[in-house]
Amino acid sequence: MKQIFLFLILFIFVTSPEVTAQKRKSDKAYASYAAGEYFDAIDLFKDAYSKTKKTDKNSRSEMVFMIAECYRLTNDPKNAETWYKLAVKSATSKPEAQFGFAESLKKNGKYPLAIDEFKKYKQIAPSDARAEQEIRSCELAVEWLRNPETYKVEELKDINSKESDFSPAYGRDDFGLIYFTSSRDGVTGKKTHGATGQNFTDIFESRVDKKSKWSTPVAVEVINSEFEDGTPSFSSDYKELYFTRCEVGKREKKGCIIMYSKRTGDKWSNPKNIGILPDSLVAAHPSISKDGLSLYFVSDLAGGFGNKDIWKVTRIRTGDAWSKPVNLGPDINTPGDELFPYIREDGTLYFSSDGHIGMGGLDIFKAKPQPDGSWIVQNMKPPINSFADDFGIIFEGANEKGIFSSTRKGKENDELYSFELPPLKFNVTGLVKDEKSGTSITGSLVQLIASDGSNLQAETGSAGDFKFALKADVDYIFLASKRGYLNGKEKETTKGQDKSRDFMVTIQLTAIDKPIELPNILYDFGKWDLRPESMVSLDKLVETLLDNPNVTIELMSHTDSRDTEEYNLILSEKRAKVVVKYLIDKGIDPERLQAKGYGESTPKVVDDIIAGQNSFLKSGTTLSDQYINSLANDEQREIAHQINRRTEFKVMRTDYEPPKK
């Protein structure tokens, strides 16, 4: 894992694994492993394995496990999977082999198989909380892949080499110059890294030419050394450069430090250690804030939350000494590794982690600072993240486009990828239908009224259809009209939408050639006061009248036949007037309203809807007194009486002119 070695180089001479009794080939293998030379150790362990007697099952099993570990540490999950699988099957398998096998399956994108193997590990090590988190990670990865984010991701083939290329930084405000880390040919150092089998890294630069292609990368002058140099970060004016250098002595590591250089014209000054930590401690992966007063970096300082954490130092003014490091806390840092911080202009922090729930190795996360000092952390999901390592992201200022690093092509080498969030696109496709029959209404006029002030019109086609393109972050009303119908409308909004979308709406128009019933206009027996549940229906009528300002209506109230005709006529008249009063109180012009009570004189004719709701009634039947009395029981008769007790309206005029204000 080339990008991790840039950081881990300090740890080459840490405590070695327990050396077995094997003294020949295995000694060299363990010595290389202890020195962090995992690439070299692979062949040494394989050689030692081939020389170990088959009867020495413990040693052979241990070497298989160590080969798997080396492949994991060189970020070769395909080979790691093969050797971990052998280690799991061995007679002396250890829990770490089972976890490594499951983890390799996950890094190879084999999520269902990985879930099964993590469940096995959970049985072996029930107290290890990692198992449950990894299972959840695999489940979410499958879900995210089904519904990826809309970023467009492309490999930067003009820049990438056969070796590792990662951790870019823009070097100009037009984003036409990038610095990045690479182990390609042409580096300053002449030695090969024993951990990766590649060159020590240098910082390279590439520029966009007139044809919008990236030029052949060249090593940056002055900045690079014979050691590992990389992970550049520029000040907001692009005149200052911060980067990581990991120095190597003949027999010891001198650690990773953050270097600083200042540009005058086209020349960089000789880099200097900014000195935020003692030389014996690791400081790497710098990211300088826009105002130049905060520097984020990675370290394994005591007091952290895991292996490598993200820390911050600050200063009051440019040129002042940096403060003592402050850990960013448990919202950001986990028991795993948090690496490659990038602080954006608006204060959003991007970083990579294998400790938060993610899709594979390292995932890129977005962290928003909160007023109380906490952070809201979100996985950036596919296609930014993959089952491989994804890290080192940068943005073109405030635009949702930039470059990041990934090993997603299935190789251990890191490569650069561009990404861009295409502009959100919204469309609405609608249908205009007859409310009663459900048939399409051809030639109706549909008006789009938008909260941004735009106003468009379209006529429905032969299928009653219409279509509009919509803008982001706007509320819309679609108002349909047709001669012989009341206007109808539907609403939609693109506010809060973070993905392109096609909306579907259906606008139902009500024909005015027949009375239109108002549902749920209910009264207590013998009373004319409106009950609360009637208000919803009347409020919809208010809205209909506002949408149809040239319409006048007659409110028609009906009763059942269970009293005298005279009483029912008076009762229905009072009920109709109460409805009219309610509408006037809601702002409807009284000249548009008439109230008339019909008593029991106009029984309801059963339509298809009523017949569908009441199987004992047939469509086309008039609910007369004689018919109701012929029904089978009191329950059916009461339902029929209730249907007759209704309030309707009919359109009287469609040419009313509202008074001018």
Q: How confident is the model at residue 448 (pLDDT cuts 50, 70, 90)?
A: very high
User: Do residues 36 and 12 touch, judged by C-beta distance below 8 A?
Assistant: yes
- Bigger pLDDT: 296 vs 150: 296
Residue 73 has which token pair?
Answer: 């540490």
Rounded Cα gap, residues 351 and 334, in angstroms: 12
Q: How confident is the model at residue 23 (pLDDT cuts 50, 70, 90)?
A: low
Query: Omega into 383 within 30° of 0, i.e. cis?
Result: yes
Question: Domain ranges in the chain?
Answer: 2-146, 160-420, 426-509, 516-604+646-653
Rounded Cα gap, residues 340 and 361, in angstroms: 14
pLDDT digits (tens, 9 = 90+) for 581-626: 999 999 999 999 999 999 999 999 999 889 999 999 999 999 999 9
Alpha helices for 359-482 (secondary structure H): none
What CATH number was assigned to the domain covering residues 516-604+646-653?
3.30.1330.60
pLDDT of residue 141: 96
What CATH number was assigned to the domain covering residues 2-146?
1.25.40.10
pLDDT of residue 54: 79
User: Do residues 416 and 405 touch, judged by C-beta distance below 8 A?
Assistant: yes
Q: How confident is the model at residue 483 (pLDDT cuts 50, 70, 90)?
A: very high
Strand order across the beta sheet in which 445-450 lies: 455-459, 445-450, 475-481, 488-493
CA angle 588, 591, 594 (to 5 degrees): 90
Angle subtended by helix axes 95-107 and 111-124, to nearest 10: 160
Residues 6+ apart with CB under 8 A from 377: 331, 332, 356, 365, 366, 367
pLDDT of residue 6: 44
Q: How confident is the model at residue 395 (pLDDT cuts 50, 70, 90)?
A: very high
pLDDT of residue 5: 45
Q: pTM score, two decimals? A: 0.75
Coil/strand/helix, residue 105? helix
User: Do residues 206 and 216 touch, judged by C-beta distance below 8 A?
Assistant: yes
pLDDT digits (tens, 9 = 90+) for 282-320: 899 999 999 999 999 999 999 999 899 999 999 999 989
Q: How confident is the model at residue 10 (pLDDT cuts 50, 70, 90)?
A: very low
**Are β-strands 593-599 and 552-558 bridged in parallel, bridged antiparallel, or unpaired?**
parallel
Rounded Cα gap, residues 567 and 448, in angstroms: 49
Tell the residue number behind the tokens 């009906």, with chain if given.
558
In this structure, the dihedral spanned by the alpha carbons of residues 533, 537, 542 and 544, taken in order and rounded to 10 degrees, is 170
Mean pLDDT, rounded, for 364-387? 96
User: Do residues 554 and 598 touch, judged by C-beta distance below 8 A?
Assistant: no
Please give the CATH architecture assigned to the domain spanning 426-509: Sandwich (2.60)
- Bigger pLDDT: 532 vs 464: 464
**Are β-strands 488-493 and 475-481 bridged in parallel, bridged antiparallel, or unpaired?**
antiparallel
Query: What single-letter DSSP state applies at residue 406?
Result: E
**Helix (H) / strand (E) containing 233:** strand 228-234
Q: How confident is the model at residue 168 (pLDDT cuts 50, 70, 90)?
A: very high
Rounded Cα gap, residues 184 and 546, in angstroms: 71
Query: What single-letter DSSP state applies at residue 175?
Result: S
pLDDT of residue 59: 85
User: Do residues 244 and 256 touch, judged by C-beta distance below 8 A?
Assistant: yes
Residues 6+ apart with CB under 8 A from 341: 285, 287, 296, 297, 298, 310, 349, 350, 351
CATH 2.120.10.30 fits 160-420, yes or no: yes
pLDDT digits (tens, 9 = 90+) for 75-125: 899 999 999 999 999 877 899 999 999 999 999 999 999 999 999 999 999
Rounded Cα gap, residues 575 and 579, in angstroms: 7
Residue 242 has which token pair?
Answer: 């911060």
Residue 385 has which token pair?
Answer: 């993240």
Q: What is the DSSP string of 238-279?
A: S-EEEEEEEEE-SSSEEEEEEEEEEEETTEEPPPEE--SS-T
CA angle 79, 84, 88 (to 5 degrees): 155
Percent of the chain with pLDDT over 70: 93
Q: Output the average pLDDT for the chain.
A: 90
Q: How confident is the model at residue 248 (pLDDT cuts 50, 70, 90)?
A: low
Query: Residue 195: is its pLDDT beyond 90?
Result: no
Query: Residue 220: is its pLDDT beyond 60?
Result: yes
